[in-house]
Amino acid sequence: MLKVQGLTGGYGDSQVLFGIDFEAQAGQAVSLIGRNGMGKTTTVRTLMGMLPARGGSIELQGKVLGRLASHVVARLGVGLVPEGRRVFGSLSVEENLVATARAAEGRSGWSLDRVLDLFPRLRERRRQSARTLSGGEQQMLAIGRALMTNPQLLVLDEATEGLAPLIRHEIWDCLRTLKREGMTIVVVDKNLTEMASLLDRHHIVEKGRVVWSGTPEELKSRADLAHRYLGI
């Protein structure tokens, strides 16, 4: 479904990615983990076409991305839940969701009703402006908004950052539901224990490269890796 090989990139003169390799099979959930500043968000931005890939390749269902504009990447079926949520504060919950809606081509897709079924809290607050929502509710809205684009691949950058444990659990539950329904998911996150039951594979990013990949069980048995690359 998604295959990233030897991806290089960065900002202006500063190279951040030195050869990122990872893949997600259809229906799998995988992570990019690693300490701050190692290139996870830069990988996500490059994947989404927000930064140009300088070298290497990104393939989504056999189509080559990497030099496509972000709206084209979105149209090809990649939904982003960006770091910092970025909901439209002055719009209502419902307006935020409808703003990104795009019909699924030939698939039974996400509708406003289906997103509000997934997040009953958003249904209760559908007429409220997004800025009046709690952080957790804004995160749900950011996920709902990405779903409204009817993605085949959902990419979440620090979706649980700064949220209370109960809300984090709701978000992980929702991602498990989406995975059961066949969604392919890439998450950047720090909560290794909470992610374990969702993920098929972790990828550790260190200085712009994927230096290790394996299952959550394998990572758990390698205290040396957690210490060396994750600072725990």
Ligand X SMILES: Nc1ncnc2c1ncn2[C@@H]1O[C@H](COP(=O)(O)OP(=O)(O)OP(=O)(O)O)[C@@H](O)[C@H]1O
Binding site for ligand X (CB under 6 A): 11, 14, 16, 34, 36-42
Q: Give min distance, CB of 190 to ligand X, in A.
A: 8
Q: Give min distance, CB of 123 to ligand X, in A.
A: 32
Q: What is d(CA 47, CA 66) in angstroms, rounded to the nearest whole number?
A: 7
DSSP letter string over the chain? -EEEEEEEEEETTEEEEEEEEEEE-TT-EEEEB-STTSSHHHHHHHHTTSS---EEEEEETTEEESSS-HHHHHHTTEEEE-TT----TTSBHHHHHHHT----SSS----HHHHHHH-HHHHHTTTSBGGGS-HHHHHHHHHHHHHTT--SEEEEESTTTT--HHHHHHHHHHHHHHHHTT-EEEEE-S-HHHHTTT-SBEEEEETTEEEEEE-HHHHHT-HHHIIIII--
**Residue nearer to ligand X on the CB measure, 95 or 194:** 194
**Residue nearer to ligand X on the CB measure, 9 or 77:** 9
Q: Give min distance, CB of 15 to ligand X, in A.
A: 9
The region, left, alpha or beta by phi > 0 then psi within -120 to 50, assigned to residue 34 is left
Bridge partners (DSSP) of residue 31 are 187
Q: What is d(CA 23, CA 107) in angstroms, rounded to the nearest whole number?
A: 24
Q: Give min distance, CB of 135 to ligand X, in A.
A: 17
**Residue nearer to ligand X on the CB measure, 37 or 135:** 37
**Residue nearer to ligand X on the CB measure, 144 or 208:** 208
**Residue nearer to ligand X on the CB measure, 11 or 132:** 11
Q: Give min distance, CB of 52 to ligand X, in A.
A: 13
**Residue nearer to ligand X on the CB measure, 14 or 108:** 14
**Residue nearer to ligand X on the CB measure, 49 or 144:** 49
Q: Give min distance, CB of 65 to ligand X, in A.
A: 18
Q: Give min distance, CB of 181 to ligand X, in A.
A: 28
